[in-house]
Homo-oligomer: A and B are copies of this chain.
């Protein structure tokens, strides 16, 4: 079971829509997955799931338990302020170190409203996941100008679909 992590807690996010699109591509390729939307994090997550409070939030523990059972993950990462959302790093900070991520495998995908596509976001995230002992697939599509290229749940830019399919093809046997 592959975990697809929607890397923002913003409501109605494009990232969530792309997570669902990606889930469908995985299904077509014969792989089961579920979407973990960071919007599902408990409201007081930042205070009840970290440090001395680690493990005390039942709602977070439920999300974490499911993730811990997964050995492959896909991160859908919007660009915020030249990197990935703070909430995604806070989520990683609240996981079990190192067992949540160590010796597991992941694929990363970024999107941005602007023209740069999130290269720095994925570079930072790669550093962190490597630190946690997680192998990161080399292919990391960066989907720039996402609003112009993804509408009503579908890509209008065929290149982007190709990039995602090639990533999945490399990820499944990774």
Contact = CB atoms under 8 A, between A and B. Distances in A.
A113 B136 CA distance: 26
A135 to B, nearest CB: 5
B89 A93 contact: no
B138 A83 contact: no
Contacts of A57: none
Contacts of A123: 120, 123, 127
Contacts of A136: 130, 136, 138
Taking the full assembly, how many copies of this chain does it contain?
4
A54 to B, nearest CB: 11
Interface residues of A, number: 54
A172 interface: no
A127 B138 contact: no
B127 A133 contact: no
A137 B129 CA distance: 11
A11 B50 CA distance: 10
A172 B133 CA distance: 16
B139 A133 contact: yes
Given A43-B47, A46-B90, A86-B93, 5 more contacts: A9-B46, A82-B132, A116-B117, A116-B119, A120-B123
8 contacts: A10-B50, A43-B44, A83-B89, A116-B116, A120-B120, A129-B138, A132-B138, A133-B138
A174 B173 CA distance: 11
B126 A124 contact: no
Nearest to A174: B135
Interface string A73-99: 000000011111111111111000100
Query: Which residue among A85, A135, A138, A144 has the maximum number of chain B CB atoms within 10 Å of its CB?
Result: A138
